[in-house]
Every structure is written in structure tokens, then in C-alpha cells.
Structure 1
Amino acid sequence: MSDEKNGPSDKRSSKEALMANLREANRNRRPRPAPPAHAAKAETSRRPVKPFDFSTLPEYRELRMQRAAADMMGIGNPFFRSHEGLAAATTMIGNRTFLNFASYNYLGLNGHERVNAAAKAAIDRYGTSVSASRLVAGERPIHREFEEKIAELHGVEDAIAMVSGHATNVSTIGTLLGPRDLIMYDALIHNSIAEGARLSGASRVSFPHNDWRFVSQTLDKVRHQYEKVLIVIEGLYSMDGDFPDLTRFIEVKASHDAWLMVDEAHSIGVLGKTGRGIAEHAGIDPKLVEIWMGTLSKTLSGCGGYIAGTSALVDFLKVKAPGFVYSVGLPPALAAAAITSIDLMLEEPWRVAKLHENGQFFVEEAKNAGLDVGLSEGYAVCPIIVGGSAQAAVLAHRIYERGLNALPIIYPAVPEKAARLRFFITSLHTREEISDAVRITAEELEIVRSAGSVLQQLSAR
């Protein structure tokens, strides 16, 4: 007998009920979380992870091509040469002594026994670093001592010191100016000024070198469009060795309700009877300039930068400038070295006088030798303009072979037809050393120019 309860129709109904229950369970089940992205990637690809190859950058390939061209012309790399001791009027490179015209040690104070002693004493007292931002844990008495010394040197109310000259300009300009403002700067201004202006978001105008008339005429037309206007110039231009007409720029900024900023990186210790800079040189009240900027790495035997001006300006920057607020305080040894360098400069005026004498002598000797010194006024910085970049590089190599160290400045740092060797004169150079440097340069330049067509062919490859 067959069992009716287990017939075909009952089996179908049981199966349908089971499927219905499974469908209901699936509807009520929570969705399963997706695997992490990195896990999914690992499942789909087992290829090894490789860092980006920066040698594939077009800019790097161009650099390699330039180096290959230099190798083809037999030119060694003039940059990053390792000096084995103090670089002053002479220097030791590769166990060989060179006449050295590639140092910013304008007054010969870097390495002075009093400067070294002050730095060592600061290390003994404070250590090599203050380890933090001055705002939170890095303030030391020597910081204020240095800033008061700088303010006194410039003849203004106060100053603020930062750990980088480049960052001082970038941070200060970026803090004070914004999208509703205008920044006008000299066409030959330092990169730090141009970068600060770019990052500020303000409108920017690069004006022809030292052309205060252009600045005035431009502001006549556009001043009303902006809230704040900043004009930036240098006290002494590091590529050309000339300086602006400070009196005229002060008149322009005053008549257009603008601010004036003067970068004195290369003019402190160089311009003025006592080395106080372009205001002393021009006989101008320094309080007529809103912002003075300078660095420690030239005359002041250290590293870092500063802003000098009113107490209000300094108070504002100390709580708003990122390069100060978020950066470690100046190492005590550098502050001590700079303080002592200022003291020595003022105590020994012969250093500034000797620097002026040496600079003028270099320019006179160079002109007598038929060399092109461009715009140089004979204050510490003197270019010898060669022409093409290839010629400048070859000339630098040839004088180096003869024991003279002066570096080439080539395109794009300067226009291609204005490539040059740049000579920095110090108070420690002797007249004989200056005469030898000029003579060697003139002799080698004549040889280089006689082979000019060959150089052009090689550099074009």
C-alpha cells in the first residue's frame, strides 16, 4: 500500500515551503561588509609595490643632459665643493689652497676668536638647540638680547629673529598680505621675496630694476583697487652689486599710502660708514621704512633671518607668522655669534672701511682689464659678465684650475646673455690677491672667447 501523506503533491508543497523560508531568511540577513580596499587590491593584484622613480621626471632628465654636456666640455661641477676649513680670503679644497671670492664673510668675522668664544659659551649654557618653538618652550634670554641688538643696529623699535632667511621673507610677506592686496617687487629681487609674494595670494607686479618711476606711475593707476600695497627692494643686489635710490622709493610709498620693505641681506656690514646698511649710506631716517629684513649668514657669522621695525609689527609677527610660531627658535650659539659680530663691526670700523676700499679697487682693476662689471658699485659684490652660460661655466672651470675660486651664475638665474662669474670681496682680501684674481680671470676669458664657436656647438648638443 502506498502512503498518501507522502505523495507527489505533498513533496512539492514541502519543497516550496522550504524555498520560501530560505528567501525570507535572505531578506532579513544583514549585508556582509565589503572587504577593505587594500585587501581587495591585494586579492586582485599580487604585483610588488615600487616607489616612484624620480629619475623619470622630465626636469631630472633635463638636469642629466646638462651634466652630460658639461662632461663633454670637460667641465667639473663647480657647485658643492667641499671646503676643508674656514672659507675666508683663501680656502682649502681637496688639500689645495685657493684664492677665494665665493664667500659672504664680508667683514671676516666668521671664525674670529671672539665670535667663536661667544658661540661656545652659549652652547655651554643653553646647549646646541632650544628644541622647540619660542612660543611654547624655546624662548631664551639670548633671543631677546639679539633682537634688541638688531633693533638698535637698524635704529628702530624692535626685531624678531627666525631660523631661516628665506623663510623669514616667505612667512612675513605671507602673513601681512593677502588676496585683496598688491605686492610690487624689483625684477632682480631674491627668490624668497618672489615666493612669499606668490604664496600670499596677493596680486603681484615685478617692476624694472630700480625703476621707482615705474612703481609710482603704476600706483597712480591701480592703487585704489587694493587694500594694502607693499613695495619690496634690496639694500644691495646680490647678483649685480648695485643699490636702489632709497629716498625716491620712500617718497613713492608715502605718496601712495604703501609700505616699503628693504631686504638688507647683503647690505648690513657693507653699506654705510659703520656698516648699518643702506639707510646710513643714504642718510635716511630708518623709521621711514616700514619693514627691514636681514640675514645672519653674511656679515653676522650665523644662520637665520630677522625682521626689524615697530613694536606693533614685531608683536603681530610673533603670534601670526608661521615661520616663527611653528618653527624652532634660533640656536643660542648663532644668536651669540651674531651679537658678537655686531659688537666687533662697531668697535672696529676699519673692517667696513677696508671692505669699501677693496670693493672699489676690484672694480677699478676689472674695468682696466677690459672686464664687464655690469652695474656693480664696488661694494662687496662684483659680477664679471661673460655672455653665454657655457662660456661662464668654462671660465669658472679654467680659473679654478689656476687656483681661483669664483662661481658661475647661469641661466635661468640670470638671462642667458648675462651669464657671469660672481665675485664676493671681503675686508680680508689683499690688493695683491685682488689683482691676481682680476688678471687670471681676464687671461682665461680671452682664451674662452677665442674658442667661443666651439663652445656654442658643444652646448647646443
Structure 2
Amino acid sequence: MSGGLSAAARMALLARLSKRRGGDAPRPEAGSARDFSTLPGMRDFSLLQAALDQLEMQSPLFQKHDGLAAAHSRIGGRPVINFASYNYLGLNGDRRVQEAAKAAVDRYGVSPSASRITSGERDLHGRLETALAEWHGAEAALTFVSGHATNVTVIGHLMGPRDLILHDAAIHNSCTEGARLSGARRLPFAHNDMAAAEREMASARRGAQRALLLVEGHYSMDGDSPDLARCVELAHRHDAWLMVDEAHSLGVLGPTGRGVAEAQGVDPTGVDLWMGTLSKTLSACGGYIAARAEVIDWLRHTAPGSVYSVALAPPLAAAALASLDILRAEPERVARLQRNGRGLRDRLRARGFDTGGSQGSAIVPVILGSSIRTVKVAGALLERGVAAQVVIFPAVPEQSARLRFFVSSEHDEDDLDRVAERLAESVAAVGRTESPAF
């Protein structure tokens, strides 16, 4: 991790790191199989920790929220305007959602204790899956205990070593982990570049048994979307499945929050596999796949993440179902969210900030450059009462480090004005104090 450091500064950090470890418990000899420092990324991680120590900076990660992470929250005992959570429609904490979760605990307990295939069903799971399938215009759906695990187990189980997975370069880690598990040939194409996707598919499809085109409906790092109609056409022309990860799309895109297909006027049946999470708009935890009934039934009986994993906890299933019911009944929440997303993006752009390709729905990045500078700005912003997510190397390439603002329908115009003003103040403060070495 260079973090914008000069070569001399990096060497100084390494020396400091070595001295800091000098008083620690004895470690295995360098190069030993028992030496944890040989783990992938451990050196970069250690450099980042040493850089934060040397600069006397607190890590921007693992911030402790004192209570509900809503549009307004408390971190370390201080009130903040919160743009660091995925509570897009303000349903996490909604009384109706809480009551549904409590009623599920009263009836079913906290845990189903085992997998559904061995320990039986709860009607909540079936009701939630029916509602999710209807939401996406699919025949059936299957829930899992984790959104990340959903992609890992489904992609890993669906594809094999003789297959091809073509995916957007900005796809989520859960998708690349699933692809790695499958053993399929994995080809990334430049972000949202469908011409590049076409070239890659045309050159690689012939040698593969099956093919999967994998995109997201709303990219969490950039706040943009793919051209879904072109994705459908490309997949069908090359006899490939199309899978769309709607983790950040459900409740966010489209007039009623049904996602990228509704937003772009595309028939959702052109997509073979819809994936989504329950932890964002639906204020629970878990993931799901919506697709044709035959593939869902096959996954239910064979996917490791279904067969060998505990079922979704009853209060989480109930919370997600209640949230989906509210979303269906109150589309005005979606309109408020989209208005706020555009409002924040436009305010930040007016002040000269680089918001990348954000379409101003719910995700607005501010690209600041070096990792060290971004951490400093995040700290200055938090001191001014605004929480935002920090993304630094190696999650993104160095000089692409950014803050990410996740907007809620529950933010108001004053919140948007204040965050734009305070971000400008924070950047100016860091610019005045930052050492030329970084």
C-alpha cells in the first residue's frame, strides 16, 4: 500500500513497523509456513496500520455506533448525520418492522437451529420467497443467511471448470469469490463497457460449455448502472445466462423501487437469475435468488449454502417481509430517496467534487485521490458531525480512494446542505495541514 507515500517514507514506515514488533511475543522464522506475515495482503495491511500510527491518525473503519444507524445516529457518544449505512428507505427501526420481528421470535424463537432440508420449513420463509419472486417477476425464489454467501454458493454451484463467467470489472467480491470457487474461466470487462463485454464474449464463448454474464443493477462503488437491455441481448445472442446482483437496487431504482429493470423499462423475464440482499432496503440480513422454478428447486435441494447451512432466522425473515410490504404500499419513500440522492450529488458537484459516474440514486462517491488524504478528510468530516464510508487501497486503486455517501429517504434538505458545506470545510482543512510528502 503506497498510500501516496514517497519511497523514503515507505522505508521509514517499514522500519517503524519492525521496531514496533520487536517487543512482541516470539514469531515463527520468516518464510516459515507458520509465519502469518506471509498471508496475502498482510504486508499491505501492516503498512497501512503503520502509516496511521506514524501520522497519529485513527482508523476510519469499525466506527462504533451507539444505537440505531439511521439518517441520524450517534458515534462515540456524538450525534452525526449518517451517510455510512444502507438504510435506504429508513425501515430499519420502523415500528411495524420491529413488531413483525418480535412476533416471529414469540412464535418461532430466534433461530431455526438447522437447515430447512433437514429440520423442516417455517411458513415465513415461503411467504417471503413468494413475495420476492413476485417483486422480480420471477417464478420462485430462495433465501440464504448471507448476501455474500448467496453469491458464493450459487455461482460456485451453478458453474464449473468447463464454463465461462464474464463479469463487469467492478463486480462485488462475493461474485468473484463464487467464480473462483466454481473453477470456471473468469473474464472481467471494463466497467459498464458493453462493447468490451461483446468482444470478450465473442472470443471466449465458443470454448465453454456454459456461460454466465454477471452484472450489478446498481454499483455500490460508483453509484451507476449497466445498460440492462444490452446485457439481455448479449446474453441471449451468445446462449449465456444473465445474472443481475440487485443488492443496492431493490427499493432504490425505478418509480416503485423494483430495481434496474423497472428503472430502464426492461422486461425482467429477460434476466435468468436475480440476486438480492435483505440487509439494505429490507432492514434484515441475508440474501436470495429469484429465477425459474426449476432452478430454484434444484438450488433448494443441492446448493451447499442451502443444504448445509442454517435457515434464515425467523425474526429476520419477518422483518424483511414486513419491509417489502411497506415498500409496496409506500412508494413515496422511493421518490424521496431518489430526490435526496440527486440533491446530494448536485450539491457536491456544484462545489467541484468528483462524484464519478453516480446517477444520484442512493450512492454518491467523492473521489479524493490518495488513501492517506481520504482518511484524513474522513476524520475531519466526522469531527464536524458527518459520517461517511471510506474506501482506500487495496479496495480501489491508489489515487482512486474515495468517500462514499449512502443516502436515505429520511435525510432532509438541511442534511444535504450541511454535508456539502462540511465536506468542503474538511477538504480545505486537510489541504492546509497536509505534509507535501504525502
| Superposed pair shares fold, TM > 0.5 | yes
Letter of the aligned partner of 2:427 in structure 1? L
Indicate conservation of the 8 Å contact 1:157/1:310, yes or no: yes
Matches within 5 A, 1:177-256: 177-256=159-238
- Structure 1 Cα separation of the partners of residues 36 and 148 of structure 2: 28
Q: Give the 3-state SS of the residue equivalent to 1:417 in structure 2.
A: coil
Indicate conservation of the 8 Å contact 2:91/2:283, yes or no: yes
Shift of 1:447: 2.8
Letter of the aligned partner of 2:196 in structure 1? F
Is 1:141 the counterpart of 2:154 in the alignment?
no
- Structure 2 Cα separation of the partners of residues 327 and 219 of structure 1: 34
Question: Cα deviations across residues 4-24 of structure 1 (Å, max 9, x unaligned)?
Answer: xxxxxxxxxxxxxxxxxxxxx
Is 1:95 the counterpart of 2:77 in the alignment?
yes
Indicate conservation of the 8 Å contact 1:138/1:328, yes or no: no
- Structure 1 Cα separation of the partners of residues 261 and 281 of structure 2: 17
Shift of 1:109: 0.4
> Which of 239, 242, 255 is 1:257 aligned to?
239
The equivalent residue for 1:437 is 419
Matches within 5 A, 1:64-143: 64-143=46-125
Is 1:377 the counterpart of 2:356 in the alignment?
no
- Structure 1 Cα separation of the partners of residues 236 and 434 of structure 2: 50
The equivalent residue for 1:366 is 348
Q: Give the 3-state SS of the residue equivalent to 1:454 in structure 2.
A: coil
Shift of 1:227: 0.9
Letter of the aligned partner of 1:411 in structure 2? F
Is 1:310 the counterpart of 2:292 in the alignment?
yes
Is 1:354 the counterpart of 2:336 in the alignment?
yes
Shift of 1:446: 2.4
Shift of 1:389: 0.6
Indicate conservation of the 8 Å contact 2:189/2:200, yes or no: no
Is 1:284 the counterpart of 2:292 in the alignment?
no
Q: Equivalent pairs: percent with the same residue?
A: 51
Is 1:159 the counterpart of 2:149 in the alignment?
no
Q: Give the 3-state SS of the residue equivalent to 1:97 in structure 2.
A: strand
- Structure 1 Cα separation of the partners of residues 437 and 430 of structure 2: 8
- Structure 1 Cα separation of the partners of residues 388 and 239 of structure 2: 43
Letter of the aligned partner of 1:65 in structure 2? L
Q: Give the 3-state SS of the residue equivalent to 2:310 in structure 1.
A: coil
- Structure 2 Cα separation of the partners of residues 110 and 212 of structure 1: 36
Question: Cα deviations across residues 69-92 of structure 1 (Å, max 9, x unaligned)?
Answer: 112223212111211111111111
- Structure 2 Cα separation of the partners of residues 400 and 245 of structure 1: 36
Shift of 1:180: 0.7
Letter of the aligned partner of 2:337 in structure 1? L
Indicate conservation of the 8 Å contact 1:102/1:405, yes or no: yes
Q: Let me know the Cα RMSD of the aligned residues.
A: 1.5
Is 1:319 the counterpart of 2:301 in the alignment?
yes
Q: Give the 3-state SS of the residue equivalent to 1:184 in structure 2.
A: strand
Letter of the aligned partner of 2:381 in structure 1? I
Indicate conservation of the 8 Å contact 2:216/2:245, yes or no: yes
- Structure 2 Cα separation of the partners of residues 62 and 137 of structure 1: 44
Shift of 1:451: 4.3
What is the number of equivalent residue pairs in this alignment?
A: 406
- Structure 2 Cα separation of the partners of residues 171 and 201 of structure 1: 13
Structure possessing the higher radius of gyration over alpha carbons: 1
Letter of the aligned partner of 2:119 in structure 1? A
- Structure 1 Cα separation of the partners of residues 375 and 245 of structure 2: 29
Question: Cα deviations across residues 115-137 of structure 1 (Å, max 9, x unaligned)?
Answer: 00000000000000000000000
| Greater fraction of residues in helix | 1
The equivalent residue for 2:280 is 298
The equivalent residue for 1:27 is none
Q: With the length of structure 1 as denominator, give the TM-score of the two structures.
A: 0.86
Shift of 1:53: 7.2
Letter of the aligned partner of 2:333 in structure 1? R
- Structure 1 Cα separation of the partners of residues 422 and 199 of structure 2: 45
Is 1:268 the counterpart of 2:250 in the alignment?
yes
Letter of the aligned partner of 2:417 in structure 1? S
Shift of 1:219: 2.2
**Structure 1 unmatched runs, 5+:** 1-49, 457-461
Q: Give the 3-state SS of the residue equivalent to 2:436 in structure 1.
A: helix
**Structure 2 unmatched runs, 5+:** 1-27
Q: With the length of structure 2 as denominator, give the TM-score of the two structures.
A: 0.90
